[in-house]
């Protein structure tokens, strides 16, 4: 009788283990389905976020505000082009202006472009001052363009 009782106990344990195994397999399937669902949701959210980022970039660009590094580089290049246009314009007018007045005109143009500060008055001769202004202003302007 012991053997049949032991056999029944072992069969009960086997049945319980099989039931537990089935329950765990069902939970595993549920978790896998949930994981797949979460992965899909995450992918959708990433797509949506990327779309929003593109829209924000577009909105910023249409409002004239640089958003990406590329936009900022393009904006900086535009500023440099504008500065070069000012210099070229000044050089073109150099031939049209008398040479004694050109140095002062060039300095005023550079100051208007906010690239150099006004140079303080000095006790040097007018000719020495003109040369100093020209050299200093040109160096500062070239340095500002290189930045």
| 136 shares a domain with 73 | yes
pLDDT at 95 (0 to 100): 57
| 118 shares a domain with 87 | yes
d(CA 142, CA 121): 22
The answer to whether the beta carbons of residues 103 and 128 sit under 8 Å apart is no
d(CA 123, CA 49): 64
Provide the domain count of the chain. Answer: 2
| 59 shares a domain with 121 | no
| 81 shares a domain with 141 | yes
Burial class, 106, CB count within 10 angstroms (exposed 0-12 / middle 13-18 / buried 19+)? buried
d(CA 23, CA 73): 60
CB neighbour list of residue 87: distance below 8 Å, 6 or more residues apart = 141
What does the pLDDT profile of the chain (147 residues) look like in tens digits? Answer: 578 888 888 999 999 999 999 999 999 999 999 989 999 998 888 888 777 766 665 555 556 665 667 777 888 888 888 888 887 777 766 555 555 555 666 667 666 666 555 555 555 566 666 677 677 767 777 777 765
| 80 shares a domain with 97 | yes
Q: Which helix (H) or strand (E) holds 10?
A: helix 2-62
| 74 shares a domain with 33 | no
pLDDT at 145 (0 to 100): 73
pLDDT at 103 (0 to 100): 63
The last residue of a domain, from among 12, 46, 67: 67
pLDDT at 73 (0 to 100): 80
The last residue of a domain, from among 17, 34, 67: 67
The answer to whether the beta carbons of residues 141 and 87 sit under 8 Å apart is yes
| 73 shares a domain with 54 | no
pLDDT at 88 (0 to 100): 77
pTM of the model: 0.33
pLDDT at 48 (0 to 100): 83
27 lies in which domain range?
1-67
| 44 shares a domain with 30 | yes
| 93 shares a domain with 44 | no
The answer to whether the beta carbons of residues 118 and 135 sit under 8 Å apart is no
| 83 shares a domain with 61 | no
pLDDT at 71 (0 to 100): 73
84 CB-side CA count, 13 A:
8
| 80 shares a domain with 29 | no
The last residue of a domain, from among 21, 48, 67: 67
């Amino acid at each position: 009788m012991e053997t049949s009782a032991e056999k029944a106990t072992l069969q009960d344990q086997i049945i319980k283990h099989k039931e537990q195994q089935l329950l765990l397999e069902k939970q595993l399937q549920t978790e896998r389905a949930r994981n797949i669902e979460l992965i899909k949701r995450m992918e959708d959210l990433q797509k949506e976020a990327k779309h929003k980022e593109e829209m924000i970039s577009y909105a910023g660009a249409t409002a004239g505000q640089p958003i990406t590094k590329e936009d900022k580089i393009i904006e900086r290049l535009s500023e440099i082009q504008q500065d070069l246009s000012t210099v070229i314009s000044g050089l073109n007018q150099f031939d049209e202006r008398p040479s004694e007045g050109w140095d002062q005109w060039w300095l005023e143009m550079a100051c208007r472009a906010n690239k150099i500060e006004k140079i303080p008055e000095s006790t040097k001769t007018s000719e020495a001052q003109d040369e100093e202004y020209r050299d200093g202003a040109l160096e500062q302007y070239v340095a500002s363009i290189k930045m």
